[in-house]
Amino acid sequence: MHAWVEAEAAHIARRSVRELEALVGVSSPSGDNHGAEEAIALCAALLAPEAEIERLPCSTPGYAPDLLARVHGQGALRILLLGHLDTVVNHDAHRTLIRDGDRLVGSGTVDMKGGVVLAIGVLNALAARRDALAELALLLVTDEEWRVGGLEHADLFAEFDACLCFEAGQAGPNGEEGVIVKRKAAGTLRVHGRGVSAHSGSAPDRGRNALLALAKAAEAVANCHDPRGPERLSAVPTIMNSGEAFNVVPASGELFCDMRAESSRAFETVVAAVPDEVGGAQLETEIVRLWPGLDSTEATVPLLQRATGVLGRPVIGMERGGASDASHVAALVPITVDGLGPRGGGAHSPGEYVLADSLHSRAEVALAIAAALLGDRLDP
């Protein structure tokens, strides 16, 4: 293992559990500005003094501004580190960090405050090597878990050489250090139903049943599901709300569906399959959240080969489901590597955890990839 990687990873590991405990101690569900500001203040305090801190408008209106930290140097390479601070866990369900054997259990540990801790550690390590970098940036957003639009700041990094995103890490099939270089496109489909209410006992046929229309819409979406097809499309109805009383024809309602595919173009088929009207009830369809696909498989092959040599153990590119902010950046920054956070599991559940030892091993992986990007510029 490269001496710089070994030394800096050990330094990150010595601090990581304490820093993770502090960050998980802040309850920061999506849309809660107080929690977001508290988490941002903590992250800012952990950053190297060389980092210049800015606040950028969040991609989702009404959310707390994102955190952007920049370190400027005298080199030529530009690297973006990427993560998010919001969770899906509300305040009442929030759990602070506890140790349970080899697990560090707490809300947001793996998705993705463990990754944020490592991203900060990597920035601090690289901040001392400004001779090798033109610019190092860390973007921590506050709305990744519930974003309606795209990543508003992506264009800021169009000239960057690499993006390293710190979503949860994973092991390869033979125990290799896995990083994510491919993700399917992801989208959330919303169908709004508008009908006419009527008493379900005395005059049911005067109504226009929005619930039945939404049920037909759900069936139409499900019929588009084709995970073995060329686009590997999954289309799954997940939430439906309709009706206000047990004896009234529902006049309105909503249906939400999750969609994944090789490219977002496949979602047009799903939208087109939903009828405009069923039984007199009107249906309005829109995609409210959209992540493009990420595929940096070929672009990252040389990088991962160099990182394997730096690390002294295999680093392999892998595919993962789920969406990530890295998906919004990959179209502009071809060398995009995701999944650099610690390993763990149970995301969004009460038992969410990271494996304590992986904070050290995954710090080594992230630093090895950074070292591979810098090449000879890292050597004395």
Give the CATH number for residue 206: 3.30.70.360
The residue out of 291, 323, 357 marking a domain boundary is 291
| Structural contact between residues 168 and 115, judged by C-beta atoms closer than 8 angstroms | yes
Evaluate if residue 131 carries a pLDDT over 90. Answer: no
C-alpha 218/C-alpha 212 separation (Å) is 10
* 168 and 191, same domain (yes or no): no
Rounded to the nearest 10 degrees, the angle between the axes of helix 358-374 and helix 301-311 is 120
Q: Are residues 168 and 310 in the same domain?
A: yes
The pLDDT of residue 375 is 85
Same domain, 204 and 156: no
pLDDT above 80 (res 231): yes
Q: What is the pLDDT of residue 16?
A: 97
- Is 149 a residue whose pLDDT tops 90? no
267 and 189 share a domain? yes
In the predicted model, what is the mean pLDDT of residues 273-282?
Answer: 97
- Helical spans, DSSP H, in 79-237: 114-127, 210-222
Count Cα neighbours of 109 within 13 Å in the Cβ-side half-sphere: 30
140 compared with 149, residue with greater pLDDT: 140
Q: Which residues pair with 104 in a beta bridge?
A: 99, 354
- What is d(CA 367, CA 121) in angstroms, rounded to the nearest whole number? 9
Kindly state whether residues 209 and 126 are assigned to the same domain.
no
Starting at the edge strand found earlier in the chain, the sheet holding 52-56 runs 52-56, 66-72, 133-141, 77-84, 162-165, 336-337
Report whether pLDDT(245) > 80.
yes
The per-residue pLDDT for 17 is 97
- Mean pLDDT of all residues in the chain? 95
278 plus 162 within the same structural domain? no
User: What value does the mean pLDDT take over residues 218-238?
Assistant: 97
| pLDDT per position as a tens digit, 316-351 | 999 998 789 999 999 899 999 999 999 999 999 999
Rounded to a whole number of angstroms, the CA Rg of the chain reads 23
Tell me which amino acid residue 33 is.
N
Residue 81 has pLDDT above 60, yes or no: yes
Do both 157 and 239 map to the same domain? no
What values do phi and psi take at 126, rounded to 5?
Answer: -75, -20
Q: At what angle do helices 3-24 and 114-127 cross, to 10 degrees?
A: 140
Are residues 253 and 322 both part of a single domain?
A: no
What is d(CA 122, CA 16) in angstroms, rounded to the nearest whole number? 11
The secondary element (H helix, E strand) that includes residue 313 is: none
Q: What is the DSSP string of 88-108?
A: S--GGG----EEETTEEE-TT
Q: Which helix (H) or strand (E) holds 6?
A: helix 3-24
Residues 251 and 207 in one domain: yes
CATH code of the domain containing 43? 3.40.630.10
Cβ-contact 114, 171 below 8 angstroms:
no
Mean pLDDT, to the nearest integer, of 207-230? 97
The domain boundary residue, chosen from 241, 259, 291: 291
pLDDT exceeds 70 at position 379: no
- Mean pLDDT across the stretch 150-163? 92
| Token pair belonging to 236 | 């799954």
- CA dihedral (88, 92, 96, 101) in degrees, to 10, reads -80
Number of domains into which the chain is organized = 2
* Greatest extent of the chain over all pairs of C-alpha atoms, in Å: 86
Residue numbers of the domain that contains 277: 185-291
pLDDT(75) > 60: yes
Domain shared by 21 and 147, yes or no:
yes
Q: Is the pLDDT of residue 377 over 80?
A: no
What pLDDT score does 169 carry? 95
Q: 38: part of which helix (H) or strand (E)?
A: helix 33-46
Q: Write the pLDDT tens digit of every residue in 27-65.
A: 999 999 999 999 999 999 999 999 999 999 999 999 999
Q: What is the H or E stretch that residue 289 is in?
A: strand 281-291
| Tokens (6 digits) for 252 | 């309105």
pTM over 0.85: yes
DSSP 7-30: HHHHHHHHHHHHHHHHHHTS--BT
pLDDT at 181: 97
Q: Are residues 26 and 167 in the same domain?
A: yes
Task: Provide the pLDDT for residue 380.
Answer: 53
Q: How far apart are CA 163 and CA 322, in angstroms?
A: 18
Q: In terms of domains, do 60 and 128 share one?
A: yes
Q: Using CA atoms in the order 137, 344, 170, 21, what is the torsion angle rounded to 10 degrees?
A: 20
Of the three residues 271, 291, 311, the one that is the final residue of a domain is 291
Using an 8 Å Cβ cutoff, are 318 and 172 in contact? Answer: yes
pLDDT > 70: percent of the chain = 99
